[in-house]
Amino acid sequence: MARINDHYRKLRAGYLFPEIGRRVKAFQEANPKARIIRLGIGDVTLPLAPAVVEAFRNAVDEMATAEGFRGYGPEQGYDFLVDAIRKHDFEARGVSIAQDEVFVSDGSKCDSGNLQEIFGASCRFAVVDPVYPVYVDTNVMAGRTGPADESGRFTGITYLPATEANGFVPEPPAERVDLVYLCTPNNPTGAAATREQLARWVAWAHANDAVIVFDAAYEAYITDPALPRSIYELEGAKECAIEMRSFSKRAGFTGVRCAYTVVPKALTGSTDTGERIPLNALWSRRQSTKFNGVSYPVQRAAAAVYSEAGLVQTAAQIAFYMENARRLREGLGRAGFTLFGGIHAPYIWMRTPRRLGSWEFFDRLLTQAHVVGTPGAGFGPSGEGYLRLSAFNSRENVDEAVDRVRRAFGA
Ligand code: MLT
């Protein structure tokens, strides 16, 4: 008898975004004339930047020649990409990262879900609440939690509520945890931690021998130059943090798939007997066993993001989405909604009107305005009473969505 992994049964039947997709599809089938505007899943809408496309094409052409053909690549990524990452994302900000500390992958979703495998089953972890659901769900699958209660909180997880009162950036927990997931700028609230706030997290991790899994997938959307873009800008972070970055939102790679994770060699975990083991070696072992790398053309396309033209073109894409965010924030703000985020992230975190529940507001938004958002409760119990709007769409759709929401629900 093939026994299933019972931990899966602790999870809600469907992952958040497919569940939204199912409801939207049902509505569209019942109302074929409705023109639905999708501000739900944070999926980019602009085409790839010309510099990226050119590099992508050239690499495919190379693969079509006997001299240029490549089979399996280096497991952690080609040097040309790893070196571009080190130079532009770290050296430019005064941080030195070694070649073998960078692991190129096919997405931060996979990395953030897989990283928990290198930690012991008894590790206790904390998450900011609300947050990207992958951190919690993958730890539930791995058996690190008990069941969920009625509010959706799993026993065994320390939830750190991100609220209006703390500006959606919680302080480190008083209770002992071994691992914490931080996402800043945050998905879904859009809040970005300041240097001082991150410094407190790093100091806490050192004092508690804890590891921070730092998800910086949205760092390119930070508009305030004083905010840290990498946790390694903070003194001592290399001894306590893993950082994930992605080309998905930064350069429109959601369908192309490329990201990377930095695991510093100075970062260690402990065995039962107290022996210290570098996490870099464990992650390398995990990746080389279960992953065969990102394709050569995709890595060439990613490296082109750092070319002179690539930097200019992708910055223009980000500016376009951030103008959408401004229109959502200001347009809906004028209509009386209470909104957060949208300044350092492509997400607007909106308080539901008239204290509606997240899913109830989601359904009303869909049926009355034909606009799709993401219910805040889908990101964790503290997201109840909020809805996330994504700025990834055309200007025309964003402006029309503001109008429709204002007409349907405005104060
Ligand atoms: C989101 O909408 O939260 C993201 O697109 C999900 C992801 O990046 O996997």
| CATH code for the domain in which residue 385 is found | 3.90.1150.10
- For residue 268, the SS3 value is strand
Q: pLDDT tier at 19 (50, 70, 90 boundaries)? A: confident
Given the structure tokens 């210290």, which residue do they identify? 276
Average pLDDT, the chain: 96
Q: What is the pLDDT of residue 366?
A: 97
Indicate whether 250 pLDDT > 80.
yes
Q: Quick one: what percent of the chain has pLDDT higher than 70?
A: 100
pLDDT tens per residue across span 258-317: 999 999 999 999 999 999 999 999 999 999 999 999 999 999 999 999 999 999 999 999
Distance between CA atoms of 196 and 167, rounded to whole angstroms? 14
- Specify the ligand 1 atom closest to the Cα of 134: 9
Give the helix/strand (H/E) hosting 104: strand 102-105
Distance between CA atoms of 406 and 394, rounded to whole angstroms? 18
Type of residue numbered 393: N
Distance between CA atoms of 259 and 109, rounded to whole angstroms? 9
In a domain, 72, yes or no: yes
Domain identity same for 104 and 156? yes
Indicate whether 15 pLDDT > 80.
no
| CATH code for the domain in which residue 166 is found | 3.40.640.10
Mean pLDDT of 87-104: 98
Domain identity same for 84 and 223? yes
Q: pLDDT tier at 12 (50, 70, 90 boundaries)? A: confident
Q: Indicate if ligand 1 lies below 6 Å from the C-beta of 113.
A: no
What sign does the dihedral 233-237-239-245 (CA atoms) show? negative
Q: Quick one: what percent of the chain has pLDDT higher than 90?
A: 97
In a domain, 1, yes or no: no
Q: What is the pLDDT of residue 16?
A: 85
Question: Ligand 1: distance of its center to the CA of 43 in Å?
Answer: 7
Please identify, among 306, 327, 342, the residue that sits at the C-terminal boundary of a domain.
306
- The number of residues making up the chain comes to 411
Whether the link from the prior residue into 381 is cis, omega within 30° of 0, is no
Q: Regarding beta strands 374-375 and 371-372, do their DSSP bridges make them parallel or antiparallel, or are they unpaired?
A: unpaired
pLDDT tens per residue across span 344-381: 999 999 999 999 999 999 999 999 999 999 999 999 99
Question: Ligand 1: distance of its center to the CA of 108 in Å?
Answer: 10
Question: Ligand 1: distance of its center to the CA of 185 in Å?
Answer: 13
Q: Which of 133, 135, 103, 137 is nearest to 259 (CA)?
A: 103
What sign does the dihedral 281-287-290-296 (CA atoms) show? negative
Mean pLDDT of 384-392: 98
Distance between CA atoms of 285 and 382, rounded to whole angstroms? 36
In a domain, 2, yes or no: no
The answer to whether 278 and 268 are in contact (CB under 8 A) is yes
For ligand 1, atom 5: residue with the closest CA: 42
Distance between CA atoms of 122 and 291, rounded to whole angstroms? 25
CB-count exposure of residue 157 (10 Å: 0-12, 13-18, 19+): buried
Distance between CA atoms of 113 and 132, rounded to whole angstroms? 11
Q: pLDDT tier at 164 (50, 70, 90 boundaries)? A: very high
Indicate whether 156 pLDDT > 90.
yes
Domain identity same for 340 and 225? no
Phi and psi at 93, nearest 5°, equal: -115, 20
The residues, any chain, with a CB within 8 Å of residue 86's CB and separated by 6 or more, are 96, 97, 98, 99, 102
Domain identity same for 261 and 331? no
The answer to whether 261 and 100 are in contact (CB under 8 A) is no
Domain identity same for 90 and 217? yes
Q: Indicate if ligand 1 lies below 6 Å from the C-beta of 107.
A: no
Domain identity same for 160 and 276? yes
The residues, any chain, with a CB within 8 Å of residue 138's CB and separated by 6 or more, are 112, 113, 114, 116
Mean pLDDT of 145-172: 96
Please identify, among 245, 280, 306, the residue that sits at the C-terminal boundary of a domain.
306
Indicate whether 410 pLDDT > 90.
no
Instruction: Quote the domain boundaries for residue 14.
Output: 7-47+309-408
The answer to whether 86 and 93 are in contact (CB under 8 A) is no
For ligand 1, atom 9: residue with the closest CA: 109
Comparing 122-126, 178-182, 406-410, the range with the smallest average pLDDT is 406-410
Indicate whether 401 pLDDT > 80.
yes
Domain identity same for 402 and 262? no
Domain identity same for 20 and 108? no
pLDDT tens per residue across span 195-234: 999 999 999 999 999 999 999 999 999 999 999 999 999 9
Distance between CA atoms of 391 and 270, rounded to whole angstroms? 42
Strand runs labelled E in 167-308:
179-183, 211-215, 241-246, 259-262, 268-270, 276-278
Q: Indicate if ligand 1 lies below 6 Å from the C-beta of 109.
A: yes
Please identify, among 267, 289, 306, the residue that sits at the C-terminal boundary of a domain.
306
Phi and psi at 194, nearest 5°, equal: -80, 170
Domain identity same for 18 and 164? no
Number of domains into which the chain is organized: 2
What sign does the dihedral 358-360-364-367 (CA atoms) show? positive
Q: What is the pLDDT of residue 411?
A: 64
Q: Indicate if ligand 1 lies below 6 Å from the C-beta of 284.
A: no
Q: Indicate if ligand 1 lies below 6 Å from the C-beta of 42.
A: yes
